[in-house]
Amino acid sequence: ILNRSKMPQYPGLERWILVEKLGYGAFSNVYRARDSTTEFGEVAIKVLRSFQMDSTQRAKILNEVQIMRNIDHPNIVKLIDFVESRQFCYIILELCPGGELLPQIVRLTYFSEDLSKHVIIQVANAIEYLHETSGVIHRDIKLENILFFPAPFTPTKNPKPQQLCDEDKEDEGEFTLKFDDEQYSKGVDMWAMGCVLYTLLCGFPPFYGESIQVLTKKIACAQFIFLSPWWDHISKSAQDLVSHLLVVDPKKRYNIKEFMEHPWIRQAEKETIFTV
C-alpha cells in the first residue's frame, strides 16, 4: 500500500508519479516512478538539486547526460529523458527493479565462481563497449553501481543481465591521442573490476585498514592477500585474474581485451541457469 502523500512533488515532473525512494547520491535522490501516460511503464528518476551545485558540477551532469544519449548497450542503463526546472534536473532512466549487487552478496555470503563469472562478464561487456566503442571511461565502477535487471537469479533461459548505472563520468574523446599515458587511464575501470571480482568471490573487499591512512597506503601498493580459509576453495585461475587486475602499474594491469581472453573468463558456460 503506497502512501503517495509522503512522496515529494517536483516542478516539471508532472508526467511521472513517484512511487518509492530507491537510493541517493551527493546531490540526488533516486525514485522509482510510473509514467502517467503509460508509454514507459516504470522508470527510475534521479532528481538532482542543481541549485546546490556550482557551474562545474552542473557541466559534469550535462556531460554525463550527453554521453548517455549516445550509449546503447544491453548491460548499461538507458537514458529515457532529461528534464530541467529552475532548481532541479531530472534524469529519467530505465528501471533496474532487482536493486544493488551488495545486498545479494550479503544474502549469499559470497557468490560461487560461476555466479561471480556470470556477473563480472556482464560488467566487462559494458566496459568493453565503453572503452573500445565509445571511448568512454566509467571511473565509478563499484558495487552500488551494478544493478539487477529484472530481479536477481530468477530462473530463466535467457536472463536479462544486470546493468551498470551512473556510467560515463568522462569522455576521453579527443584527449586520448594527445597524451601517451591517457591510454592507461582506462585502467581505473580495470582496477575497479578487480575490486568487484575479489568481493564477489569471497564476500569482503580486497583492501582493509584500521584507519584511512593505512587503507590508502595498502591500496596505493596493491597490498592484498587471498585470505585463508575464505580463498582456499577458489580456483587458482580466478585468483590469477584478480592478480592481473589489482596491479599498481596501469601499464602492467590487464586491459579489457586481456581480461576477456583470460582462461577463467573464456571457460564461462554459455547457458547457465542460476536459481538460489
- Look up 140 and say whether it is catalytic: yes
Site residues for ligand ADP, 93-132, by CB under 6 A, read 93-96, 100
What is the rounded distance in angstroms from the CA atom of residue 234 to the CA atom of residue 201? 8
Q: Does 22 bind ligand ADP (CB under 6 A)?
A: yes
Point out the catalytic residue in the list 35, 81, 114, 140: 140
Hey, which residues does 43 pair with through a beta bridge?
33, 94
How many chain residues interact with ligand ADP (CB under 6 A)? 20
Cell of 216: 590508502
By beta-carbon proximity to ligand ADP, the closer residue of 168 and 238 is 168
Tell which one of 117, 130, 166, 238 touches ligand ADP (CB under 6 A): 166
Tell which one of 13, 18, 33, 44 touches ligand ADP (CB under 6 A): 44
Site residues for ligand ADP, 209-248, by CB under 6 A, read none
Query: Using CB atoms within 10 A of its CB, is residue 26 exposed (0-12), middle (13-18) or buried (19+)?
Result: exposed
By beta-carbon proximity to ligand ADP, the closer residue of 100 and 189 is 100
Strands (DSSP E) found in the chain: 16-24, 28-35, 42-48, 79-84, 89-94, 99-100, 136-137, 146-148, 163-164, 170-171
Closest contact distance (angstroms) between CB of 276 and ligand ADP is 20
Only one of the segments 115-123, 142-150, 171-179, 183-191 lies at the binding site for ligand ADP (rule: CB under 6 A); that segment is: 142-150
Q: Does 165 bind ligand ADP (CB under 6 A)?
A: yes
Closest contact distance (angstroms) between CB of 72 and ligand ADP is 16
By beta-carbon proximity to ligand ADP, the closer residue of 113 and 170 is 170
What is the rounded distance in angstroms from the CA atom of residue 99 to the CA atom of residue 146? 8
Residue for cell digits 562478464?
A: 121
Task: Residue 202: name the closest of 264, 100, 267, 113 by CA.
Answer: 113
Only one of the segments 19-27, 81-89, 115-123, 192-200 lies at the binding site for ligand ADP (rule: CB under 6 A); that segment is: 19-27
What is the rounded distance in angstroms from the CA atom of residue 254 to the CA atom of residue 119? 18
Residue for cell digits 551532469?
A: 61
Residue 176 sits at the vertex; the CA angle it makes with 175 and 179, to the nearest 5 degrees, is 85
What is the rounded distance in angstroms from the CA atom of residue 103 to the CA atom of residue 87? 33
Task: Residue 193: name the closest of 227, 151, 241 by CA.
Answer: 241
Q: Does 28 bind ligand ADP (CB under 6 A)?
A: yes
Closest contact distance (angstroms) between CB of 242 and ligand ADP is 24
By beta-carbon proximity to ligand ADP, the closer residue of 44 and 124 is 44
Q: List the x/- string, 66-95, binding to ligand ADP by CB under 6 A.
A: -----------x---------------xxx
Tell which one of 81, 84, 144, 171 touches ligand ADP (CB under 6 A): 144
Q: Which amino acid appears at position 1 of this protein? A: I
What is the rounded distance in angstroms from the CA atom of residue 241 to the CA atom of residue 259? 8
Question: Residues in the site for ligand ADP, rule: CB under 6 A?
Answer: 22-26, 28, 30, 44, 46, 77, 93-96, 100, 144-145, 147, 165-166
Active-site amino acid positions:
140
